[in-house]
Amino acid sequence: MPRDGRPTRERILISAEALVIENGYAATSVDQVIAASGTSKGAFFHHFGSKLDLARALVERYAAGDVAQLDAATAYAEAVTDEPLGQVDAFLAWFEERADDLMDEQSSCLYISVLTERQLVNAGTAEPIVKAVVAWRDGLARLLAAALADGAGGRRHQVDVDALADHVFVTFEGAFLLARATGDPGHMRRQLHVLRDLVRALLRAR
Amino acid sequence: MPRDGRPTRERILISAEALVIENGYAATSVDQVIAASGTSKGAFFHHFGSKLDLARALVERYAAGDVAQLDAATAYAEAVTDEPLGQVDAFLAWFEERADDLMDEQSSCLYISVLTERQLVNAGTAEPIVKAVVAWRDGLARLLAAALADGAGGRRHQVDVDALADHVFVTFEGAFLLARATGDPGHMRRQLHVLRDLVRALLRAR
DNA sequence: TTTGTATCAGACTGTTTGGTCTGGTATCAA
DNA sequence: TTGATACCAGACCAAACAGTCTGATACAAA
């Protein structure tokens, strides 16, 4: 068991995240997490009161990273241009360009593993996920609303801006599943590209 | 244990499908399935060699129903109009109109439960899913290709028709997850509506 | 030096799990 | 009537599971 610089608690979280994303929560045993992180039962239950406790910590950590990515994409979009239309486009392009790296480091999303099991949702584990979704919706909907006020698309199609913002989240999660089903990680990039084309067409329709 | 008219094997499949969709595969025990279906251990292992065997039968059954829905939607779209653009629109409208019923009878999709667990994917359980995805892609891509040849969108945006067809599948799965996270089943209808608006805008862009 | 506390290691335990096995009944062909 | 076979009930079992407990080490305050 090689000692890297990371504190034990974080080592456990990192190993557990990979295992749960790959195999699901119920299919991941505490012993597996212990083996993968090179720790022990004593260490595990010292840092986490129960397996469910680990799940909560896992989702909280993961969602925080997710919101951080949203902020990075928004900052990039706002740095590139002042035009609302261009900002939405740059926002989507940011993710599209990072799609391959994203699929490299994780072949799926922790949210999917968590939302699959009702016991986790009932235990409040989905709450950080909802917060992340709302953060995405708020952030992107703001950009979209400005763009729709700018272009003609909004008036023509009466777009539900919140639902359109949610569609980005929906595309991400759906693309993860499609990539898993077919074994082709390239779907993430292609789906984000499709999304960008679709949103472009909607915003520029006149 | 009330005897309905259904054969035991089907009773088990119906109960198991609901449980796996709701709680996931690993989190669903054989004993739970037995209790829910009002059968016994003997009956279960008479009809299924193992729990994994049940998973395979479950997905095969589910995917068949999925492809049947695709056929129904295509038939409806072709019956409504001869125009390619109208057909794509009618195809998407068909699902949007059935979204509420769909969320009523099942709050999520079996595919999600199956794809979450690597052991199931490795055991070939994902194969019927891929077949269903391909059937969807082929069916819808045909409609889309005709519509794009008809309208000007295709030449303007150089759309990847297959990826666009996949986007319908992606939207479905993503919407299931969003509905689960927020607890609001209305997301399915709204996301399908967004999808319809987006595709409309793309196809009619000129 | 002593006392306390945070951090672990790993043996251990009670329960749940997927799966087996024995026996019983219903059905149908010979 | 007899035998064979499909179908099923439920006791039973070994393995895996989440969680506990005892004890050891490290370090800091007193």
Give ipTM to 2 decimals: 0.94
Percent helix, strand, coil in chain B, to 5, is 80, 0, 20
For chain A, the distance separating the N- and C-terminal CA atoms, rounded to the nearest angstrom, is 63
Residue ranges, CATH 1.10.357.10, chain B? 52-204
C-alpha span between B26 and A29 (Å, rounded): 11
Mean pLDDT of A12-41: 98
CATH of A56-204, one of 1.10.357, 3.30.230, 3.40.50, 1.10.1660: 1.10.357
Mean pLDDT of B132-153: 88
Distance B48 CA to C23 C1' (A): 20
pLDDT score of B154 more than 80: no
Q: For chain A, what is the total number of helices (H) and then of strands (E)?
A: 11, 0
| Joined tokens for residue B31 | 């004993």
- A8 half-sphere exposure, CB direction, 13 A CA radius: 14
pLDDT score of B151 more than 70: no
C-alpha span between A93 and B183 (Å, rounded): 30
* pLDDT classification of A199: cutoffs 50, 70, 90: very high
Mean pLDDT of B81-86: 94
B179 vs A: CB within 8 A: no
Choice among A34-43, B1-10, B80-89 with the minimum mean pLDDT: B1-10
pLDDT tens for A136-162 read: 999 999 999 999 887 655 455 578 999
> Cβ of residue B45 near strand D, that is under 7 Å?
yes
Q: For position B149, what pLDDT does the model report? A: 84
CA-based R_g, chain B, Å = 19
Contact B184, A205 (CB under 8 A): no
Q: For position A156, what pLDDT does the model report? A: 56
C-alpha span between B54 and B22 (Å, rounded): 16
pLDDT tens for A158-167 read: 789 999 999 9
Residue ranges, CATH 1.10.10.60, chain B? 1-49
Residue ranges, CATH 1.10.357, chain A? 56-204
Q: For position B153, what pLDDT does the model report? A: 53
Window 136-165 of A: residues touching B by CB (8 A cutoff) are 153, 157, 159-160, 163-164
* pLDDT classification of A1: cutoffs 50, 70, 90: very low
pLDDT tens for A66-93 read: 999 999 999 999 999 999 999 999 999 9
Q: Pick the residue from chain B with its C-alpha nearest to A128.
A: B181
Contact state of B157 with A130 under an 8 Å Cβ cutoff: no
pLDDT tens for B170-193 read: 999 999 999 999 999 999 999 999
pLDDT score of B204 more than 90: no
CATH 3.90.950.10 fits B1-49, yes or no: no
C-alpha span between B168 and B94 (Å, rounded): 13
| Residue of A87, A193, A186 lying closest to B158 (CA atoms) | A193
Contact state of A200 with B157 under an 8 Å Cβ cutoff: yes
Average pLDDT, chain A: 94
Among chain A residues 7-66, those with CB within 7 Å of any atom of strand D: 28-32, 41-42, 45, 50-52
Footprint of strand C on the protein (CB under 7 A): A 1, 7-9, 39-43, 45-47; B 28-32, 41-42, 45, 49-52
Minimal Cα–Cα distance from B94 to chain A, Å?
19
Q: Specify the CATH architecture of the domain B52-204.
A: Orthogonal Bundle (1.10)
Contact state of B202 with A197 under an 8 Å Cβ cutoff: yes
